[in-house]
A and B are shown apart, each in its own frame.
Chain A
Amino acid sequence: MKIRILTAGITAIVLAASLTSCSSEPGGTDAEVKTITYWASNQGASLDNDAEILKPEIAKFEKQTGIKVKLEVVPWSDLTNNTLAAAVSGQGPDVINIGNTNAVTFQSTGAFFPFDDAALDKIGGKDRFIKSSFATTGAEGQTPTSIPLYSQVYGLYYNKKAFADKGLTPPATWEELVSAATALTDASTGKYGIVIPGGTVNASMHMAFIFGAQNGGSAFDKAGKPTFTSDGMVAGVKQYVDLLATDKVVNPSVAQYTEGAQAAGDFARGDAAMYMAQTSSGNVLAQNGMTEDQYGVVPIPAPVGGDKIGSFVAGTNISIFKSSKNVDAALEFVKFLTSDEEQAILNKAYTSLPVVTGVEGRFTEDTELLNTWTEILTDFSKPLPLVPGVQAFQANVGGAVVSLIAQAATGGTITTDTVRKALDEAEQKMGSTK
């Protein structure tokens, strides 16, 4: 009898333990102290760098409002999957910041809180924001589901000393860029004219978009259907891949650079004389030991006769999950991060541009440099298509460009047909996505 009771007891304990382990939930929010969770995408040179920048600001917010903020810095490689899981399960953070490229795709999932007029009023109204930045907050004609946070554009960084040593001036056309890069390349000593983020999917899509636009191409037609194989897109991607395939001014090893910081490292070390990257790379270069006086920035040049597009309106937006139980607290936090004071502090730390009018970029004392970035944003930038398929465009076209770079790096010949075939495959994958 004792044995039986013992067995039954153990069984009951095991059973109870297993059942409670399936039903237990993470501790609920304290009714007294409101706590919100903030997933911040990686903007700085590392996840720790982000935490260092954000923690003092969050402490300020907590002191002002009494709302507690749990910060988690999320690397870009995990951001989409984590967001997806949060959207499906409804068990996500309250506030999240996302690449503005993803804004329309995420909007289409219906998982995000729509910033209607009442909500916009709570954070100071729509008119506070710079128009071009606010245009990235959602599809046209729909209530936005994100708010601009940091603004960025692409530029061509060049090493002042390397250019001066060869008596070169910063390129104003693509042809000049290629010829300068050729002059600056000496593969035997490991020095190359330019570094590209060869294995990085999202940056490769950015390049495809910029160079496609320079050649009159567009990734989507007016109805939102993908047109990746249009002549302009094919010519643009070929122009980019040719830097490695035919011009040979890029270290083939870039085909394995899956993180933006790797390319930044090459440029900072002086192994590459030019580097195409966004505004916030200033911070990454500084972390790699390159000071601001060592480099200059010009718009990414277009081929002679091409459209003078050097960037898209890049940046980071901030969203609230619809499933949040603390929407008011989350709105407070969004209001705080987009306030004039925080915009000045955060954009200085991240070397990005403020998204609100009246706050000037001040991440550098170099007014010429600041003016260049502003000029790129106003005169050389084209908005990315505001279609739900933009995320898939990023994955598929970015992936196709990464494959082409890999082919070129391993000695493959890249012809117009090779590029068209790769883009056609990317387009067909979109067909299955709608």
Chain B
Amino acid sequence: METSTVGQAPRPARTGSGANTPAPKRSRPAAGKPGGPTKKRWFTWTRATPYLLILPAVIMELLIHVIPMIVGFWMSFIELTQFYITNWSEAPFAGLGNYSASLSFDTSQGKQLLQSFGTTIGFTILVVGVSFIFGMSAALVLQRSFRGRGLLRTLFLIPYALPAYAGIITWKFILQRDNGLLNEVLVNGLGIFDEAPFWLIGDNAFGSMVVVAIWQQWPFAFLMLMAGMQSIPEDVYQAAEIDGASIWQQIRHITFGMMRPINAVLILLLTLWTFREFNTPFVLFGAVPPDSANLLTINIYGRSFINWNFGLGSAMSVLLMLFLVLVSGVWALINRKVNRDA
């Protein structure tokens, strides 16, 4: 009797969440107190397991993301400067002062923020655009099986597998003016330039930063797109081929068509990551980047950790976050339309 009851119990528990499954409710009193009144136990392992399993993640999420975000939001409303960093509660309330200081575009501070914003948008468009095109091209080439495909896949994924800092520091060496590999090739090898150009200061710094960021980002685009393409059934292509569709038509109508939802998610992810990119400019240029490469994140870092004005830095972070929420919102709207149309 006992064996059969217990043996049945897990089955409904697996299909339902365990909370509203009738079978265990019926069976439990019978197994526990035969003939007694039905009493709901507030704790059962079946019911608690999903919550317990998710609890560590929730705690960590709260500790690492949610609480710091709330604290950051609060910081943006106080004058948290060097005088109050050991006792935040004494920092005077600034109201919207930090926000208005960030957004006063007639001051050099506001102008610099605006300029950083423009630089960041340009950087994001270029990095996301090129990474996506590279990723898509490589994924298309490697979609069909051929000799050496595995090797190429591995090769393409190396930048993604390398620790970010190690990769960027290597680029920093390559881009040095006097003894960098790039100038060695361009100036001494090919003789394209008479005088060695600077790649890490001045206007060239922007280009260098974009190249390094693409180098890091595109393998992710490639990986996602490659995985997406694997899920398109081969029959669809065969059917299209029988119907006389050219390779280009197959790519355009089948691959691109079926990849739409994946592309949408990928572009959103790449945009969010690139817009808040910090490692690349910080490792390449240090805390004082050239004007051409002064991304928003570095600007915020400067306000907070160099000028020790954490209130202002937080206000700028909140503004950055609001902008990204806006971008995500617009994406969600467009994507809804895409899904509906599809």
Contacts and interface: CB of A to CB of B under 8 A. Distances in A.
Interface of A: 1, 3-5, 7-8, 11-12, 14-15, 18-19, 22, 77, 80-81, 84, 87-88, 90, 105, 108-111, 199, 201, 252-253, 255-256, 258, 388, 391-392, 395-396, 398-399, 402-403, 406-407, 409-410, 412, 424-425, 428-434
B46 interface: yes
B177 interface: yes
A15 B83 contact: no
Nearest to B172: A256
A409 B63 CA distance: 46
Nearest to B311: A432
- Which 4 residue pairs across A and B have the least CB separation, nearest first? A410-B202, A18-B56, A406-B201, A11-B52
Given A409-B201, A410-B202, A88 B85 contact: yes
Contact of B108 (A84, A87, A428): A428
A395 B305 CA distance: 10
B306 A8 contact: no
Contacts of A392: 306-308
Given A399-B288, A406-B290, A409-B201, A4 B45 contact: yes
Residue with the greatest number of chain A CB neighbours at <10 A, chosen from B85, B176, B203, B288: B288
A84 B305 contact: yes
Contacts, number: 129
B286 A258 contact: yes
B56 A14 contact: yes
A1 B290 contact: no
Interface residues of B, number: 47
A256 B307 contact: no
Given A8-B49, A403-B291, A81 B305 contact: yes
Nearest to B98: A432
Contacts of B308: 84, 105, 391-392, 433
B170 interface: no
A8 B286 CA distance: 49
A109 B107 contact: no
Contacts of B83: 108-110, 388, 434
A396 B309 CA distance: 13
A contacts with B: majority SS = helix
Nearest to B51: A11
Interface of B: 6, 9-10, 45-46, 48-49, 52-53, 55-56, 59-60, 63, 79, 81-83, 85-87, 101, 107-109, 112, 176-178, 198, 200-203, 286-288, 290-291, 302-303, 305-309, 312
B111 to A, nearest CB: 9
Contact of A402 (B52, B177, B288): B288
Between B108, B112, B291, B303, the greatest number of chain A beta carbons within 10 A of the residue's beta carbon is seen for B108
B309 A407 contact: no
Nearest to B101: A432
30 contacts: A1-B6, A3-B10, A8-B48, A11-B49, A11-B53, A18-B60, A19-B56, A22-B63, A88-B85, A109-B82, A109-B85, A110-B83, A201-B287, A201-B288, A252-B177, A256-B177, A256-B200, A392-B308, A399-B287, A403-B288, A406-B202, A406-B290, A409-B202, A410-B202, A424-B108, A432-B307, A433-B81, A433-B308, A433-B309, A434-B81
A406 B294 CA distance: 14
B273 to A, nearest CB: 24
A77 B201 CA distance: 19
A84 B288 contact: no
A105 B305 CA distance: 13
A84 B85 contact: yes
Given A256-B198, A410-B201, A429 B305 contact: no
Contacts of B108: 424-425, 428
B60 A410 contact: no
B9 to A, nearest CB: 8
B86 A409 contact: no
A406 B205 CA distance: 11
A418 B334 CA distance: 46
A400 B290 CA distance: 10
Nearest to A3: B10
Nearest to A396: B307
B229 to A, nearest CB: 36
B63 to A, nearest CB: 7
Contacts of A252: 177, 198
Contact of A8 (B45, B85, B200): B45
Contacts of A105: 82, 308
A410 B198 contact: yes
Nearest to B112: A425
A429 B101 CA distance: 11
A84 to B, nearest CB: 7
Contact of A410 (B203, B303, B307): B203
Given A8-B45, A434-B79, 13 more contacts: A4-B46, A7-B49, A15-B55, A15-B56, A84-B85, A87-B85, A111-B85, A402-B288, A407-B202, A409-B198, A410-B198, A432-B101, A432-B303
Nearest to B178: A253
B320 to A, nearest CB: 17
Nearest to A323: B86
A5 to B, nearest CB: 7
A431 B81 CA distance: 12
Contact of B307 (A12, A18, A398, A429): A429
Contacts of A1: 6, 9
A154 to B, nearest CB: 21
A426 B185 CA distance: 38
B205 to A, nearest CB: 9
A109 B86 contact: yes
A80 to B, nearest CB: 8
B47 to A, nearest CB: 11
Contacts of A109: 82-83, 85-86
Contacts of A399: 287-288, 306
B50 to A, nearest CB: 9
Contact of B109 (A108, A402, A429): A429
B276 to A, nearest CB: 19
Contacts of B101: 432
Contact of B107 (A11, A391, A403, A428): A428
Contacts of B107: 428
B286 to A, nearest CB: 6
B86 A88 contact: yes
A410 B303 CA distance: 27
A232 B124 CA distance: 42
A12 B52 CA distance: 8
A4 B288 contact: no
A396 B287 CA distance: 11
Nearest to B53: A11
A358 B87 CA distance: 41
A260 to B, nearest CB: 14
A110 B287 contact: no
B198 A255 contact: yes
Contacts of A412: 202
